[in-house]
Chain A
């Protein structure tokens, strides 16, 4: 019987283990290895150890991109929190059916390719697009607003595309709050603000942090959104990495930036743990 169990485990787990090791772990090791190599002027790789790729990241030009990129990602993350948190708190009071329905409704549009949805925003945001037409015909503005081909466009695109990654963890942590805790607090005379501060925030902070990581990290990397909705005017880290692989033909430098990005991710998780968060609460992380 025990033998059969082990066999069953092996059969069910092996696809995911093979998948992650072949398609995630192996490429990552290769990228890590590449980041210490040199490149020749034709885009070839010279297998010769160097740290110069990592030193090059600390050039003021590239640091500026990191700062600008992080700022955009931070604002997008903040917007996602502002939308997800009230959404989850309101939904918490409703029936389970409605909760399921609403979270599904949030997910459904995201089954469509994100590139197509990003192009969809052009129709809404452009100079003579739907949003501007409505505002002008209703007499609210006279000249069309610049809603895209700038940083605003990128932030709108990022917060829209990455919203589900915030909604899901926030909802699951908010729905999990023990009702008896809140009732007890009420009985003891706690005001709504005190309940929010003393119970809801501590109980859900791990969900919010989990969501923030899942929004923030892609938001510094999704180059197609900055290309399409930002008009290619702002270079974010994703564009920088893409350029190294495609136009500058400098794969080692591109790899070094990618590894640096992973280090930043670990750093953020480290901060979270220092603040008292548990790694288990991050679930997928």
Chain B
């Protein structure tokens, strides 16, 4: 009997405090975003300022995001951050809603160059959040050659000296660009050539790593890396000898976007959050911690925007041809 009383007291305490907590806020917002993308302090400041509770979840690939969204009840999540090709796919699956730009006052902080991209030409459904490109990072303390593009990396003296992204679309796309094809080429003959090119490159590859290729530079494991620009910048912060090169053949670009899901119950809060993140000072805070390329006009990007967009290519949906890519990937590994 004594225990039952104790149990009742504990349960009621939990209920009471639980109620108090949610009624402290004026509203909620359910966000799903890439891990390590927005500093905790930024979210906390938003909660304080607008008195809105942000339920923040993370994912580590676009496919994981899609699986999470489609497998849960409509209205579970409000705001998500899919990359370029996933915006297109979500649009076709009819699970995202059109944006009302009048509700985003800071819309004019966005640099025009980032708008009207191929996956959403009129930005009806999406607005750019952050972007990143694939670059070649070279430790010039050990490599004195003038590396300008992917084909320079085939030289046999770089044996076991390259770390490269563990991403089939990016790496196969890179080999296609090196051979003069489009990054999203699906012609079997081109793919055959790409396979041969990648097998040649493989003897120079020390490891495939997408999570933290900068570690390979910090521990002196490799001198060349093919990685996302943000990682390369972080590696350069540790080792000033690292030079960042934009491959002459072109590079892959990825843009993550604000997207509001259909069936969202907190649409206005989602707009408030987008508007907040687009503020100059908030954008600066994000970039200071995670050095991606920001579309905010007030931010000086160390990377030239012309370089980014003129020679940048997005990963596109290639339908069932993905099976051929997957097989090629299995073949070279």
A39, closest chain B residue (CB): B320
A220-250 Cβ-contact flags toward B at 8 Å (1 or 0)? 0000000100011111000110011011111
Task: Tell me which of A127, A146, A231, A243 contacts B329 (CB under 8 A).
Answer: A243
A41, closest chain B residue (CB): B319
Knowing A43-B63, A146-B160, A234-B333, say if A248 contacts B326 (CB, 8 Å).
Answer: yes
Knowing A41-B322, A42-B89, A248-B322, say if A231 contacts B206 (CB, 8 Å).
Answer: yes
A230, closest chain B residue (CB): B207
Q: How far does the alpha carbon of A231 sit from the alpha carbon of B213 in the complex, in Å? A: 11
Query: Is residue A62 contacting chain B, with contact meaning CB distance below 8 A?
Result: yes
Task: Tell me which of A61, A62, A127, A231 contacts B208 (CB under 8 A).
Answer: A231
Q: How far does the alpha carbon of A239 sit from the alpha carbon of B320 in the complex, in Å? A: 20
Interface residue ranges of B175-233 to A (CB < 8 Å): 202, 205-209, 219-221
Q: How far does the alpha carbon of A193 sit from the alpha carbon of B63 in the complex, in Å? A: 58
B326, closest chain A residue (CB): A248
Interface size on A, residues (CB 8 A): 27
* Number of A-B residue pairs having CB atoms within 8 Å of each other in the complex: 73
Q: How far does the alpha carbon of A234 sit from the alpha carbon of B64 in the complex, in Å? A: 24
Is B64 a contact partner of A246 (Cβ separation < 8 A)?
A: yes
Query: Is residue B73 contacting chain A, with contact meaning CB distance below 8 A?
Result: no
Q: How far does the alpha carbon of A248 sit from the alpha carbon of B323 in the complex, in Å? A: 7
Query: Is residue B331 contacting chain A, with contact meaning CB distance below 8 A?
Result: yes
Query: Is residue B299 contacting chain A, with contact meaning CB distance below 8 A?
Result: no
Q: How far does the alpha carbon of A61 sit from the alpha carbon of B333 in the complex, in Å? A: 10
Question: A234 contacts which chain B residues (CB < 8 A)?
Answer: 333
Is A246 a contact partner of B330 (Cβ separation < 8 A)?
A: no
> Shortest beta-carbon distance, B201 to chain A, in Å?
12
Is B330 a contact partner of A233 (Cβ separation < 8 A)?
A: no
Knowing A41-B317, A232-B208, A232-B209, say if A128 contacts B66 (CB, 8 Å).
Answer: no
A48-73 Cβ-contact flags toward B at 8 Å (1 or 0)? 00000000000101100100000000
Looking at chain B, what size class is its interface with the partner chain?
20 to 34
Is B207 a contact partner of A232 (Cβ separation < 8 A)?
A: yes
Is B64 a contact partner of A126 (Cβ separation < 8 A)?
A: no
Query: Is residue A149 contacting chain B, with contact meaning CB distance below 8 A?
Result: yes
Knowing A41-B320, A127-B221, say if A246 contacts B209 (CB, 8 Å).
Answer: no
Q: How far does the alpha carbon of A128 sit from the alpha carbon of B322 in the complex, in Å? A: 39
Q: How far does the alpha carbon of A240 sit from the alpha carbon of B329 in the complex, in Å? A: 10
> Shortest beta-carbon distance, B209 to chain A, in Å?
6
B61, closest chain A residue (CB): A246
Knowing A59-B327, A247-B326, say if A232 contacts B166 (CB, 8 Å).
Answer: yes
Q: How far does the alpha carbon of A233 sit from the alpha carbon of B164 in the complex, in Å? A: 10
A229, closest chain B residue (CB): B207
Q: How far does the alpha carbon of A149 sit from the alpha carbon of B166 in the complex, in Å? A: 13
Nearest 8 pairs of A and B residues by beta carbon: A231-B207, A232-B208, A41-B319, A235-B333, A248-B326, A41-B320, A232-B166, A149-B207
What are 27 A-B residue pairs whose CB atoms fall within 8 Å in the complex? A41-B322, A42-B92, A61-B327, A61-B330, A62-B330, A126-B221, A127-B220, A146-B160, A149-B206, A227-B166, A231-B207, A231-B208, A232-B166, A232-B207, A232-B209, A235-B330, A235-B333, A239-B333, A243-B326, A243-B329, A246-B61, A247-B167, A247-B168, A248-B322, A248-B325, A250-B322, A250-B326
A contacts, CB < 8 Å to B = 41-43, 59, 61-62, 65, 126-128, 146, 149, 227, 231-235, 239-240, 243-244, 246-250
